[in-house]
Structure 1
Amino acid sequence: MSKIKIVTDSTAYLTKEFIQQYNIDVVPLSVTFEGAVSDEGFPGEFDSFFDRLSKSKDFPTTSQPSIGKFVDVFKQALNDGYEVIAIVISSKLSGTFNSASVAAGMINTNNISVIDSLTSVSNLKALIEKALFLSEKGLSRAEIVQQIEEQKKRGGIRLTVATLDYLKKGGRLSSTEAFLGSLLNIKPIIGLIDGKLEPVDKVRGKKKAIEKMIEEIPSNAKSIYISHVGAYNEAVEYETIIKQRYPDAITGIYELGPVIGCHLGAEAIGICYMY
């Protein structure tokens, strides 16, 4: 049976404990903010960034990992006797998939598979969890890749925000749209559609937006994860509702980091499901 090494990027927002437990390699995206460049980091380390963001006139930019970082990680895994499966953020959200693919092509081996997840955050984590489960069952790299390619088609993400400021700063809303939306307390519901973030609805009030997001979760959902930016207590309330409505689904609450969270702002909430 082949040893499988799972590689991913920082937007899966895996905890250090999870990474250590399952021997995962994480290649971080980077954030440029207030003149400094830093790797994204891990859950539990994000509060200071969002505190600075809330007070700053600067708006962060984010960058994919370099090809060289993936080359180093892949070579080390191969030298340690592993075959590699890299599952990374949607290619329509980041150039990370391209970096990983080019890196794999630079290494003279057939033992690396790179998967464009067409998703991110907690649904990327869900795909990693499935890959780990299949690896523990003894499936081959090719068999795992085939199942992950199928599973990634069976999921959805919906997000909403507490403030429209960051969608405006990131260019997803015009100043006029942001002004009118704030005036009328209109909250957008943003969906991950075919790997891209797209506006799917507008609702008056954040609470109603989240209620609508929950209502639209498929009845056969196997996992329902809540992602948030500094809104843990609110996420707990919604997880309780989700557990009541979807008692057979696995649930969890996870932090969003700077790469994704800077476009949404504090108190943003996301619902990520797989079926």
Structure 2
Amino acid sequence: MSSIKILADSTCDLTKELIEAYDISILPLMISLGANSLKDGVEITPDEIYQWSNANGETPKTAAPTIGDAVDFMKPFVEKEMDLIFFGISEAMSATCNVLRLAAEELGYKQLYVVDSKNLSTGIGLQILRAAELATKGYSTEEILTDNHRINEKVRSSFVVDTLTFLYRGGRCSGITALLANTLKLKPEIVVINGKMEVAKKYRGNQKSVIMKYVKEKEKELMDADTSRVFITHSGCPEDVIKDVKDYLHNLQIFKEVIVTRAGGVISSHCGPNTLGILYISN
């Protein structure tokens, strides 16, 4: 029986420590700063993206990995004849999942199983860690995929953005919407529904107070969450804000783990700095 290898793309926003602890291999997406195409998390950092974006008045373009990169990424595991379970960013947002399928075709490899996370950031990460834990416990590939099918649509991902400037630059909202929101100091909550980003609530005020209001309004939903873990994922928020959110979630005494991660280059490119989200699996 083949061993199982969990693979993912760089939009999963897991920390280096989690990636190493769960033995996950990450395929970076591409980020283009003008003519320079760089690998997310390998050749470019979010802070460098913000600097470039503010200096040039535009948001970097993001793209799926090349088929060549995907082939090279898979080869070591193909040679070991492992079952490969790949968790990719929502297919409604990116061609990454399909690139992996095409790479497997090029390699003539039948043991690749592509999971459309229908999500982004640690909404993917939650699914990855669950699958990795099951693999460690000796579950089969089929059992892991069945479990994911059961919980895939129960993953809850949302975040509050500080400014719509980056979403506007990336073509995710109109200039008028961004101008009005920024002028009125509106901070929209973005939620992932059916693999796509949608605007839910709109908050007003400074980002610190908005974030705490957003988190507290999640309490009822959090009480009905899977207790394994909850993610606080941010794109460069002040430490005191992150600490307040973490303390609040700890004090609810619901989750075994409250994990803080920083969003990678792709997510940061679209959301901009001072974005923070709470991500978990609902029961």
TM-score normalised to structure 2 length: 0.89
Which deviates further from its counterpart, 87-96 or 180-189? 180-189
Are the equivalent residues in 2 in contact too, given 1:86–1:113 (CA < 8 A)? yes
For structure 1, which runs of at least 5 residues remain unmatched after alignment?
Answer: none
What residue identity is the alignment partner of 2:260? I
Are the equivalent residues in 2 in contact too, given 1:15–1:42 (CA < 8 A)? no
* Match in the other structure for 1:164: 164
Q: How far, CA to CA, are the matches of 2:72 and 2:174 in structure 1?
A: 41
Give structure 1 regions of 4+ aligned residues with deviation exceeding 4 angstroms. 42-45
For structure 2, which runs of at least 5 residues remain unmatched after alignment?
Answer: none
Q: How far, CA to CA, are the matches of 1:44 and 1:226 in structure 2?
A: 22
Q: Deviations over 1:159-197 (max 9, x none)?
A: 111122112212233222222222221111110001100
* Match in the other structure for 2:249: 242
Mapping 1:85-124, distance limit 5 Å: 85-124=85-124
SS in 1 for 2:163: coil
* Match in the other structure for 1:215: 217
What residue identity is the alignment partner of 1:194? N
1:15 aligns with 2:15: yes
1:175 aligns with 2:171: no
| Cα distance change of structure 1 residues 132 and 231 upon mapping to structure 2, 3 Å threshold | same
Q: How far, CA to CA, are the matches of 1:94 and 1:22 in structure 2?
A: 25
SS in 2 for 1:153: helix
* Match in the other structure for 2:281: 274
Which deviates further from its counterpart, 243-252 or 163-172? 243-252
Are the equivalent residues in 2 in contact too, given 1:13–1:256 (CA < 8 A)? yes
1:259 aligns with 2:266: yes
Deviation at 1:103, TM superposition (A): 2.0
Deviation at 1:274, TM superposition (A): 1.1
Are the equivalent residues in 1 in contact too, given 2:190–2:199 (CA < 8 A)? yes
| Cα distance change of structure 1 residues 20 and 80 upon mapping to structure 2, 3 Å threshold | farther
What residue identity is the alignment partner of 1:239? K
Q: How far, CA to CA, are the matches of 1:133 and 1:43 in structure 2?
A: 30
- Paired residues, number: 275
What residue identity is the alignment partner of 2:202? K
Are the equivalent residues in 1 in contact too, given 2:161–2:187 (CA < 8 A)? yes
What residue identity is the alignment partner of 1:218? L
What residue identity is the alignment partner of 2:264? G
* Match in the other structure for 1:229: 235
Which deviates further from its counterpart, 52-61 or 189-198? 52-61
Q: How far, CA to CA, are the matches of 2:238 and 2:129 in structure 1?
A: 22
* Match in the other structure for 1:150: 150
